[in-house]
A = this chain, B = another copy of it.
């Protein structure tokens, strides 16, 4: 079931919290700006001291508002872990995840205002990290402070986990969660690190695709040959590779790997209906990409293709001479990187095996094929049932004045799988960014209105979650 649109309309943002947030608005902006001024670029070791400063700043603030806070070292950047566990007996425990590290700001010359000097312009807050993810982490902290400041308590137990390595692959997060699975046990994980479908349309991100990424190396003769002296008698590895790659899809765009779709589950009819109802502008999508025709699997809308269907894409291809002009070489080898995006219940290992079998069967005699698995990740999909999603729908409805839509995401966010898998708790992905927010580009921004409504939605969420139980 998708969150019921009607269910979300009876709820309002609690007046006491709304009033406090209005009173504190300037100060909450000032604090966020202070947080954003710290250039916590996790990818650059020259910013290691800034990373420590950002962690310490967050640590200090969480402690001041009443959280028991630790800054825990990892082999990389530290995790800030803050707990408040004084909710009434039987109240659910929620883990809020965010990250305090940001992308490098370069190229600096393309920023309208400095990357680390937050600037309000046209209703948006511009700064590196404004939306990804300091601003979205901060609106959670503000919502928590609202409860504690106004009521002296929270209706749920809360653990805030803020990591400093999201932008460099979260390498140390899964082991961290694994090692503290008891301590981090919770009834729900809430993450705000994504976008809304469009302005004014609150969104719950309900699915992520998985990945099976392989490299195929085709080898023919033991060295590059003169294409005149040998051409016509030797199997050309580049041509063989092209035949293999061409065999991956049927003419109509469907993936031709035997068994590829066997484990694919249809998305629930209401979710598909919801996606179809989204105001997606396909003409604008094509104009944005600069193409006149879209592709992919027939029988599905573009959003369904991106969010609910598996793919097989070439990521890279290399053989022979690729410089300027003509070189008459018959290449000795050819390489392709191919990756499949997966949907429930496809298994990355099984898809990789099916792809390897297909590639070997498609290779002509005269070449040898080596297949290397480079990366794999499971798909994820929220089942959208239960009190967490209902509470989220009500809270978003209260803040934004309309029911949220359900969106999907064609890419992967590995930490979501890590939390779901290790902690066994449902994960709510509720983001307040917007399309065009430049998350990894110059002039990153978050809408000031979304920042304010986000604080209210999250503050409301804790009440709704406590009322519902989990």
Contact = CB atoms under 8 A, between A and B. Distances in A.
A225 B220 CA distance: 31
Contact of A221 (B291, B322, B330, B411): B291
A337 B316 contact: no
Contacts of A239: 245-246, 248-249, 313-314
A322 B328 contact: no
Given A313-B227, A315-B321, A326 B246 contact: no
B319 A317 contact: yes
Contact of A227 (B236, B302, B330, B339): B339
Nearest to A228: B411
Interface string A300-342: 0010011001110111111111100111111100111101010
A312 B316 CA distance: 23
Interface string A125-142: 000000000000000000
B230 A306 contact: yes
Contacts of A409: 228-229
A433 to B, nearest CB: 13
Contacts of A317: 238, 241-242, 317-320, 322, 334
Interface in A359-410: 364-367, 374-375, 409-410
A356 B469 CA distance: 67
A411 B315 contact: no
A1 interface: no
Contact of A322 (B211, B245, B327, B337): B337
Chain B CB within 10 Å — which of A213, A296, A321, A409 has the most? Answer: A296
Contacts of A232: 296-297, 305-306, 309-311, 313, 341, 410
Contacts of A452: none
Copies of the polypeptide in the assembly: 2
Contacts of A341: 227-228, 231-232
A296 B235 CA distance: 7
Chain B CB within 10 Å — which of A310, A318, A330, A337 has the most? Answer: A337
Contacts of A249: 239
Given A226-B411, A233-B296, A235-B295, A335 B322 contact: yes
Contact of A229 (B242, B297, B314, B411): B411
Contacts of A313: 227, 231-232, 236, 239, 330
Nearest to A214: B326
B314 A319 contact: yes
Given A226-B411, A228-B409, A329 B302 contact: no
Contacts of A23: none
17 contacts: A221-B291, A228-B410, A231-B313, A231-B341, A232-B309, A232-B310, A232-B341, A233-B294, A235-B291, A235-B293, A239-B248, A239-B249, A242-B245, A291-B366, A292-B366, A317-B317, A326-B374
Interface of A: 209, 211, 213, 220-222, 225-236, 238-239, 241-249, 289-297, 302, 305-306, 309-311, 313-322, 325-331, 334-337, 339, 341, 364-367, 374-375, 409-412
Given A233-B305, A239-B314, 14 more contacts: A232-B310, A232-B313, A234-B295, A238-B315, A242-B243, A242-B244, A243-B246, A292-B366, A314-B331, A315-B329, A317-B318, A318-B319, A322-B335, A322-B337
